[in-house]
């Protein structure tokens, strides 16, 4: 299939008509119409419903558009990269990132990256879910303790620790043998009743008694500092409050929290993806995640 014809099909689909596509591209409506007709003849299906003042894609046209939009953009980027000697990051960089990381760090990181690479336009989608990079046209994703995925590769750029914390004024109950302590707690909606929290290699084990379920770690932190209950929180998020005595540490959980920057496992990375991976890793040279001070 002629890639130019496929490009013209996408041009017409995006602009919603031959006239608008012609004005945007400088190609004649006759040329655009002929190339789309050639694709339809080659595939044996109709892609566009012609008639009336508006243009509509058929079901086959919608499927072709959805499946080819990302690959065609990559082809265009590859051509631009080849022209520039694989050296100039440019174009839209679409990033999927967890909500907390986006709130506390990604704004400053994105601004600093864009200042270095002004031809890159960054778009961040901040959600606590695992986005599909291919289907949703993401270039990179920031993930915490990611599962192994054969379709994604990347690097761990920083590490954090989980700390059990509470307001200094909170009175902890006395232990009774080997049973976990039942303690009022501020938890996330993902907390499952009956779960226990263990810190300092099992020296302290508690069975949280949820008094608040909050969807943001920032609000969990603030509620714990206000005395609502204990909370399991990233050290990076509460380091300042620990230093000021507004929160007290009851111990650290086992293991580290790893932050990874991931991208699809294509053999050749685009310049913008390669530049972003190198940049974000350079921001944490000692491997510890810290929140920028405002």
The CATH number that applies at residue 60 is 1.10.10.10
Higher pLDDT, 166 or 268: 166
Task: Based on the fold, state whether residues 262 and 143 are members of the same structural domain.
Answer: yes
d(CA 131, CA 260): 14
d(CA 293, CA 53): 55
| pLDDT value at residue 22 | 83
How many domains does one find in the chain?
3
Check: CB of residue 289 under 8 Å from CB of residue 260.
no
Task: Based on the fold, state whether residues 104 and 234 are members of the same structural domain.
Answer: no
pLDDT in tens, 44-96: 888 888 765 667 888 888 888 887 777 777 776 666 666 655 578 888 999 99
Check: CB of residue 248 under 8 Å from CB of residue 171.
no
Check: CB of residue 252 under 8 Å from CB of residue 198.
no
Task: Based on the fold, state whether residues 212 and 171 are members of the same structural domain.
Answer: yes
| pLDDT value at residue 260 | 95
Instruction: Return all residues near 57 (Cβ < 8 A) that are at least 6 apart.
Output: 13, 47, 48, 49, 65
d(CA 183, CA 249): 15
Residue 134 lies in a domain: yes
List the Cα angle 79/84/89 in 5-degree steps. Answer: 90
pLDDT in tens, 204-252: 899 999 999 999 999 999 999 999 999 999 999 999 999 999 999 999 9
Region 16-30 average pLDDT: 82
Q: Compute the mean pLDDT over every residue in the chain, rounded to the nearest whole number.
A: 86
Task: Based on the fold, state whether residues 195 and 277 are members of the same structural domain.
Answer: no
Task: Report residue 247 as tokens.
Answer: 């929160």
Residue 79 lies in a domain: no
Task: Based on the fold, state whether residues 237 and 207 are members of the same structural domain.
Answer: yes
Q: What is the CATH number of the domain that holds 114?
A: 3.40.190.10
d(CA 62, CA 141): 26
Region 171-197 average pLDDT: 86
| pLDDT value at residue 176 | 57
Task: Based on the fold, state whether residues 262 and 214 are members of the same structural domain.
Answer: no
pLDDT of residue 125 exceeding 90, the answer is yes
Confidence of residue 36 (pLDDT cuts 50, 70, 90): confident
| pLDDT value at residue 142 | 96
Residue 83 lies in a domain: no
Whether pTM exceeds 0.85: no
Structural domain boundaries, residue 271: 91-154+258-282
| pLDDT value at residue 238 | 95
Region 102-121 average pLDDT: 94
| pLDDT value at residue 26 | 82
Task: Based on the fold, state whether residues 236 and 275 are members of the same structural domain.
Answer: no
Task: Based on the fold, state whether residues 200 and 59 are members of the same structural domain.
Answer: no
Task: Based on the fold, state whether residues 197 and 247 are members of the same structural domain.
Answer: yes
pLDDT of residue 167 exceeding 80, the answer is yes
| pLDDT value at residue 293 | 56
Task: Based on the fold, state whether residues 38 and 52 are members of the same structural domain.
Answer: yes
pLDDT of residue 184 exceeding 70, the answer is yes
Residue 181 lies in a domain: yes
Task: Based on the fold, state whether residues 134 and 275 are members of the same structural domain.
Answer: yes
């Amino acid at each position: 299939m002629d890639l130019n014809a496929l490009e013209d099909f996408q041009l017409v689909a995006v602009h919603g008509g031959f006239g608008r596509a012609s004005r945007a591209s400088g190609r004649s409506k006759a040329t655009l119409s002929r190339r789309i007709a050639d694709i339809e003849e080659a595939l044996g299906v109709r892609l566009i419903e012609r008639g009336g003042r508006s243009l509509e894609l058929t079901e086959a046209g919608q499927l072709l558009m959805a499946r080819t939009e990302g690959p065609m953009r990559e082809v265009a980027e590859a051509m631009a990269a080849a022209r520039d000697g694989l050296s100039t990051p440019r174009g839209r960089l679409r990033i999927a990132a967890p909500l907390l990381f986006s709130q506390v760090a990604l704004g400053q990181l994105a601004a600093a990256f864009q200042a270095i690479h002004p031809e890159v336009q960054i778009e961040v989608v901040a959600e606590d879910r695992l986005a599909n990079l291919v289907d949703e046209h993401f270039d990179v994703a920031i993930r915490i303790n990611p599962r192994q995925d054969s379709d994604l590769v990347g690097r761990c750029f920083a590490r954090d620790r989980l700390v059990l914390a509470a307001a200094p004024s909170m009175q902890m109950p006395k232990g009774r043998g080997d049973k976990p302590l039942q303690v009022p707690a501020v938890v996330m909606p993902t907390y499952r009743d009956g779960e226990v929290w263990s810190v300092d290699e099992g020296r302290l084990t508690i069975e949280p008694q949820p008094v608040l379920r909050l969807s943001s770690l920032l609000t969990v932190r603030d509620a714990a500092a206000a005395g609502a209950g204990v909370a399991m929180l990233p050290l990076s998020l509460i380091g300042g409050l620990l230093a000021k005595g507004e929160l007290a540490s009851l111990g650290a959980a086992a293991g580290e929290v790893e932050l990874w920057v991931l991208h699809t496992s294509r053999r050749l990375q685009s310049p913008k993806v390669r530049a972003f991976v190198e940049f974000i890793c350079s921001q944490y040279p000692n491997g510890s995640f810290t929140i920028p001070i405002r």
